[in-house]
Structure 1
């Protein structure tokens, strides 16, 4: 198959496109590094190097505190069972525990339509206790970015961007963001603390010359802070409150997934801005484990904080943030993927033009390799594999203070 044109031209055909650096979400096209134009239905794949510029994780290391698994903790401390497990759909493709409302795995993209809801280990609580290993035998180590008395910050294994964190409160067991509504003032103070620590952890990346090189030049730290994609999920895949802190830009494949609405799902992603606006009303809301999210959304819609409006702004800004900050170079990638097919390509007149497609190449296999090369999870690698650690001063396997999971207003663990 010969070369063919990827879409409307970006230059002199009468189609007016934004200048390099500007973003038009109404356009079907986007500009990558060097002003090269490509369709938003495509993504670059097959990273040619061994890795993007990397930022090593925190140098503090520790050994496991609990020698066994979550199941061992549950047997020794049955009162802990409500804290130790999640309701999830386990992906048949990659094994990732996904939220039980999802229809497609947000790691490998496999359908979850026929996957039953089962129990999985709450690994975030395991991290906080220093549990040694999962039931499947692999070590429950973390890619540590920051640890204080109040918060644990780790690299997200999903790695939607080279700088993608989860922030987990260290003093309390809070199943999910709904329970913040039981104590708005206390919740806002907690979020202030967590976001401040997340920004400290982000500075390690921003101070790296190599990392700054993957961003479009000319953006200050303050600009980048405005482009952080910050939210909660409900239902989460792990039932311990955690902030999703995603510093744009997404990697090429993950941006494509977002364009296809396979990330930041409406009715599952709850923007930080939305949660903060609700909490700022200072109206405690009685939340139970079985309180429907739809009930909460309807209640606060009537108070003037309309979820659909907040989500739409959040989603559009998430796409725009990557398109404004990314500096992907076509020279760094071997292929372009479109409609699930892997193509050779060339850049001609400032545009990506597809050439032959490779029937024997699986885009998922290529994406798996790209993820390892582009992520900062577990850096530095040893023998080509991510490394990790347990945490110092972990929580004890008990409910309540001192030393255990502190009580949060409205959370009933009986």
Structure 2
């Protein structure tokens, strides 16, 4: 299931973004840097993938974050605001752990839902030599290297510069006390998100999600097909 989640996300990324020439030209550095499209496994080097524990949004799901990070997100990452230690579990750690447990025929289905995560981390290293710290630090290093290598951002692309909680014109340096960091974030989200397009007349995303379980799960369409 974990590999299926990653594969589905990678396919969506490759088909909807990497195959778009204008996207590659700007966001990925152009044709000179990418002689050919990567495959799913190669894409992992450009991706931060993993799961939160406890799961956010009340459901266990795979986070698939394609680099390089946006400037605001990378600044937050450097401040420790992303991929928290012992909260975020890298895909590589999860996959190695599940394969080890599968090979050992271990059954954790009857574990208490509030099982201490530190105990599980320690057990994986003690019995299988799979170190959470090693995988987590490798992910952090990869994220920094990915950003240094591929980030396409230049000052002329940016409208404002943020110093502390104050906004300044990126070109003239003029201070805009009426502009808040939060309002800029909200505006940026509307500009760059692909969800819910085209927006409605109130500039709000269209679409929604299915909120009720089907009486017969087989009636639901398999979104991976």
TM-score (norm 1): 0.45
Distance 1:234 1:246, change over 3 A: same
3-state secondary structure, aligned to 1:245: strand
3-state secondary structure, aligned to 2:205: coil
For 1:300 and 1:225, how far apart are their aligned partners in 2? Answer: 23
CA deviations on 1:81-134 (whole Å, 9 max, x unpaired) are xxxxxxxxxxxxxxxxxxxxxxxxxxxxxxxxxxxxxxxxxxxxxxxxxxxxxx
> Does 1:198 pair with 2:9?
yes
CA deviations on 1:361-410 (whole Å, 9 max, x unpaired) are 2111111111111222222323322122446xx85157xx6669xxxxxx
If asked which structure has higher relative contact order (CA below 8 Å, sep 6+), I would say 1
Ranges of 4+ aligned residues in structure 1 off by more than 4 Å = 401-404
Larger helix percent: 2
Q: CA deviation at 1:240?
A: 2.8
CA deviations on 1:158-208 (whole Å, 9 max, x unpaired) are xxxxxxxxxxxxxxxxxxxxxxxxxxxxxxxx2222222222211211112
The root-mean-square deviation of aligned C-alpha atoms, in Å, is 2.4
Larger Rg: 1
Q: CA deviation at 1:310?
A: 1.0
> Does 1:234 pair with 2:44?
no
Gaps of 5+ in 1: 1-189, 347-353, 405-414
Give the one of 142, 145, 157 matched to 1:332. 157
For 2:148 and 2:199, how far apart are their aligned partners in 1? Answer: 29
Length, aligned pairs only: 204
Q: CA deviation at 1:265?
A: 0.7
Distance 1:304 1:247, change over 3 A: same
Q: CA deviation at 1:297?
A: 0.6
Q: CA deviation at 1:276?
A: 0.9
For 2:86 and 2:96, how far apart are their aligned partners in 1? Answer: 17
For 1:402 and 1:334, how far apart are their aligned partners in 2? Answer: 49
Distance 1:324 1:379, change over 3 A: farther
The 8 Å contact of residues 251 and 374 in structure 1, kept in 2 or not, is answered as no
3-state secondary structure, aligned to 1:274: helix
Give the one of 43, 64, 68 matched to 1:249. 68
For 1:396 and 1:389, how far apart are their aligned partners in 2? Answer: 17
Q: CA deviation at 1:325?
A: 2.4
3-state secondary structure, aligned to 1:364: helix
> Does 1:221 pair with 2:37?
yes
Gaps of 5+ in 2: 221-225
The 8 Å contact of residues 49 and 90 in structure 2, kept in 1 or not, is answered as yes
Which residue pairs with 1:294 in the alignment?
Answer: 118
For 2:170 and 2:93, how far apart are their aligned partners in 1? Answer: 42
Which residue pairs with 2:78 in the alignment?
Answer: 259
Larger strand percent: 1
Distance 1:296 1:265, change over 3 A: same
For 1:297 and 1:311, how far apart are their aligned partners in 2? Answer: 12
